[in-house]
Amino acid sequence: MNSLRFGITIAVALGAAALASAQGQYGPPREYGYGQPGYGRADRGGGPAYQIGVEDGRRDGERDAYSGHSFRPTHSGNFHHADRGYHREFGPKQMYKDAYRSGYTEGYRAGYGQGPRRRR
């Protein structure tokens, strides 16, 4: 058991040293963009498009639930435009929009389901 811990510790230390060396030589790794992990929903942590979509969707879903609207995640201007927070460095805009809409739909579903209902 101790030798396993020691082996894991050494592997982590060597990996961290290699990463630090690569960053110093070539700059920080590209975190977002086409083909990069974290661009969209694939890793569930999401990239900026997905996260912003979740936040916007949750807010819009709560608002619709409170105002008595039916469940309608695709009727929002946020869903249609889907480019809030986009920067060129993130890669192709359409991929950003796809990831945003995926996050938006999930956020809307959560916000609509948890939002307070206005009594009429």
pLDDT, residue 100, reads 96
Q: Which structure tokens are listed for 21?
A: 């060396």
**DSSP letter string, 36-67:** -TTSSGGGSS--HHHHHHHHHHHHHHHHHHHH
Task: Report which residue type is found at 120.
Answer: R
Diameter of the chain measured on Cα atoms:
67
pLDDT, residue 8, reads 60
Q: Which structure tokens are listed for 45?
A: 């942590």
HEC secondary structure over 62-77? HHHHHHCCCCCHHHCH
Q: Please state, for a pLDDT cut of 90, what percent of the chain lies above it.
A: 51
Is the alpha carbon torsion for 41, 42, 44, 49 positive or negative? negative
pLDDT tens column, 47-103 = 999 999 999 999 999 999 999 999 999 999 999 999 999 999 989 999 999 999 999
pLDDT, residue 25, reads 41
CB-based contact 46:97 (threshold 8 Å): no
The whole-angstrom separation of Cα 101 and Cα 23 is 32
pLDDT, residue 117, reads 66
Delimit the domains of the chain by residue range.
Answer: 1-30, 31-114
